[in-house]
Amino acid sequence: MNPGLSIYDNLGGAEGIRAIIEAFYPRVYKDPLLSPLFPEDMEPVKEKQFMFLSQFFGGPSLFSDAYGHPMLRARHMKFPVTEERAEAWLSCMAGALTDVGIEEPLRSIILNRLSGPAHHFVNTP
């Protein structure tokens, strides 16, 4: 890992984000807590997350350019996000990072960056 570079660049840019997304959503769609929330067609979900994570990790602002301010907590309000679902989401991400071969310390840095938002989106006891 090069600490002088963004997470995006440490992941190898768009290709690296793409690889994580491709490993992440099949896990989400297999997870019994998460899968009922997601639409049948995984492709648009992947594309939005690709755009969001690109900008979140310091790459081009693809998501905001297309959809405006992310306001992600608000965008998740129509789904019952419980503490258990936040943990399940993070554990799918942890698995995806392992699948793709992301090593420490980058792996923990990424999971820590996502952990705040994931718990912030909890809206259901």
Binding residues for heme: 119
How far is 86 from 109, CA to CA, in rounded Å?
17
Binding residues, as ranges, are 119
| Interface with ligand HEM, residue 75, by CB under 6 A | yes
Looking at residue 95, its amino acid is: G
Q: Which residue has the tokens 């420490």?
A: 104
Give the range of 15-23, 69-77, 95-103, 104-112 binding ligand HEM by CB under 6 A. Answer: 69-77
DSSP for 4-24?
TS-HHHHTTTHHHHHHHHHHH
3-state helix, strand, coil in the chain (%, to 5): 65, 0, 35
Nearer to ligand HEM, 100 or 119 (CB): 119
Q: Which of 7, 21, 34, 92 binds ligand HEM (CB under 6 A)?
A: 34
Cβ-contact 54, 20 below 8 angstroms: no
Q: Binders of ligand HEM: how many residues, by CB under 6 A?
A: 21
Q: Please select the residue that binds ligand HEM; options are 8, 25, 57, 121, rule is CB under 6 A.
A: 121
Could you list the residues that contact ligand HEM (CB under 6 A)? 34, 37-39, 45, 48-49, 52, 67, 72, 75-76, 79, 81, 85-86, 89, 114, 117-118, 121
